[in-house]
Structure 1
Amino acid sequence: MESSAVTSEIRDKRAALTDNTLNQFKELRNRFLSFKKEKYLQNIEHYQSLSQNQAPKFMVIACADSRVCPTSILGFEPGEAFVVRNVANLVPPHENGPSETNAALEFAVNSLEVQNILVVGHSCCGGIKALMSFQDEIHSNSSSFIKNWVIVGKTAKLKTKAAASNLDFDQQCRQCEKESINSSLLNLLSYPWIEERVKNGLLSIHGGYYDFIDCTFEKWTLDYEGSSSKADGSCSIGNREFWS
C-alpha cells in the first residue's frame, strides 16, 4: 500500500500536470483564434473551396521530428501538399504490406493524382541514429516498435557502413540520413501504380534534406530511366539544387 507521502507527491504531480496542460491548450486556443482572424477570414473563399475538394500537387513524406515541419520550412499553404509523417521519413517497400504510409501513398497517387512525391529527411535524425545504433540482426518479433519500424532503412544502413566505415558515428549517421532518402525513393518504385505514373511522365519523385543547424535545404530528383537500368539497385538522381 502506498504511503501517504507518496500519495501526496503523486497528487501534486497530477495537479501540476493539469495546470501545465490547461496553459498549453490556452496558448493553442490563442493561436487558433489568431489563425482564424488573420488567415481564414482574410481568405475565406479559398478555405471554403477547400471544404469541397482538394487538389494538391505535392505529397510530402517527412519525419515526425518536432523540429522538422514541412509546411513551415517549405511554406506550403492549406490545399497544396498532402503530408504524411513518420519516424525517419521512411517508405517501406510494397512487399512489406500495409502501413499508414503506403495507405497515404495510395490515396495521394491514385485518388488525388499528385504530380510530385517529395521525401524530406533532416539533420540530427533520432530515427536514423537508432537505426545505426541497433545490432545488424533486428528480428521482426522484437518488442520494440521503433526497431520493427526503422528496419525498413536497413539497406541504407548497410550501404553507409560499407562506404563510410572510416568515419565516426555522427558522420555515418549524417550520411545514412541522406542514403535512407534515396532508399525510400527506390522503394516508391516498388509500388506498381507509382512506377506506372512515373514511367508515363505523370509523376515525379524527389528527395530533400533539411539541415536545421545552418538552415539549408538540398533537393534532388529521381532519374527513373537511370535508376531502372542500374543492376546494383542504386539510385540515379539529377536536378540537384542547394538552397541556402
Structure 2
Amino acid sequence: MQNLLEGYKKFQIEVFPKRANLFKSLESGQKPSTLFLTCSDSRIVPDMILQSDPGELFISRNAGNIVPPYGEVNGGVTATIEYAVLALGVQNIVVCGHSDCGAMKAVLSGKQHAQMPTVDKWLQHSASAMQMVPPVSDNSIATPKERLRTLTRANVLTQLQHLQTHPSVAYATSRGQLQLFGWVYEIHTGSIDTYDAESGRFLPLTDATLRPSVAPPRLELLAS
C-alpha cells in the first residue's frame, strides 16, 4: 500500500495543482462522450493509453471485457450500459479486449475451476466466441498464441453482439445517436486494432480506420 500512498502524495503536490481548474469544472457533474468497456487486467489503463482527461471516459471493467446479453444477468454491466446511454447520453461505446488476457486463456483451455465457480459461470458469456477459433487439429492456426489472439478478437465481436441486445443501445443506435466500436489493445506494442465492419477484419487504429465496428440498423427496414 505504501506505493499507493506515495502516488497519492505526488498527485496532490504535482498533478492536482496544475489541473485544478479542470477538477473544479467537474465538481458539479460529468458529460463523458464514451463508455469504455474493458478488462479488469491491471496492465490496461485506458486513460493512459488514450491520453484522456478526467470526465471524458465512463469506464466499466470486468474479467474478459464481457457484456452479458440483456436479461441474462441483472448486474453492474447492464446497469452501467443503461445509465451511460440514457442518463449520460454517451455517443460512443468501445468494447476493448487485450493481448495475453487471462480470462481468454481460461476460455481457450476449456477447463473448469472448482474453487472459482463464479468465474466459470461468468466466462460462459464468452463461450460462443470459441466457435470462431479453429480447433487445435487445424494447422491454419498453429500456435497457442495465435489461437489466443483469434479468440480475443472473436470475444470482442461476441460482446458487441451482446451489447446490441440491450434496449437502450438498440434505441440509440437506430436513431444515429450512438456508435459501437470493437478494439483490441496489444500490451507489448501499445497499439490498438479496430474491427472494420466493411472489410470484416481487424485493422490498425488510425484516422482512416476510426469508424464504427457495427453498422447501425436502418429505421425504414425495421418498420417494413
* TM more than 0.5: yes
Structure 2 residue runs of 5 or longer lacking an equivalent are 207-224
Change (3 A) 1:120 1:143: closer
Q: Deviations over 1:50-86 (max 9, x none)?
A: 1201000011011111111111111121101000110
**What TM-score results when the alignment is normalised by the length of structure 2?**
0.82
From 144, 149, 152, the counterpart of 2:122: 149
1:62 equivalent to 2:62? Answer no
TM-superposed CA distance for 1:48, in Å, is 1.6
From 68, 79, 99, the counterpart of 1:123: 99
Number of the residue aligned with 1:196? 171
**Greater relative contact order (CA < 8 Å, ≥ 6 in sequence):** 2
1:159 equivalent to 2:136? Answer no
Per residue, is there more helix in 1 or in 2? 1
1:76 equivalent to 2:13? Answer no
Structure 1 residue runs of 5 or longer lacking an equivalent are 1-23, 224-235
Contact 2:97–2:185 (8 Å) recurs in 1: yes
**What TM-score results when the alignment is normalised by the length of structure 1?**
0.75
Structure 2: how far apart are the matches of 1:237 and 1:111? 32
Contact 1:142–1:148 (8 Å) recurs in 2: no
SS of corresponding position for 1:105: helix
1:242 equivalent to 2:193? Answer no
Structure 2: how far apart are the matches of 1:241 and 1:214? 12
SS of corresponding position for 2:36: strand
Same amino acid, percent of matched pairs: 27
Number of the residue aligned with 1:16? none
Amino acid at match of 1:153: S
User: Which runs of 4 or more aligned residues in structure 1 lie more than 2 Å from their structure 2 counterparts after TM superposition?
Assistant: 36-39, 161-170, 219-223, 236-243
TM-superposed CA distance for 1:173, in Å, is 1.3
Change (3 A) 1:159 1:95: farther
SS of corresponding position for 2:100: coil
User: Which sits farther off after the overlay, 196-205 or 210-219?
Assistant: 210-219
Contact 1:204–1:221 (8 Å) recurs in 2: no
The structure with the largest alpha-carbon Rg is 1
Amino acid at match of 1:120: C
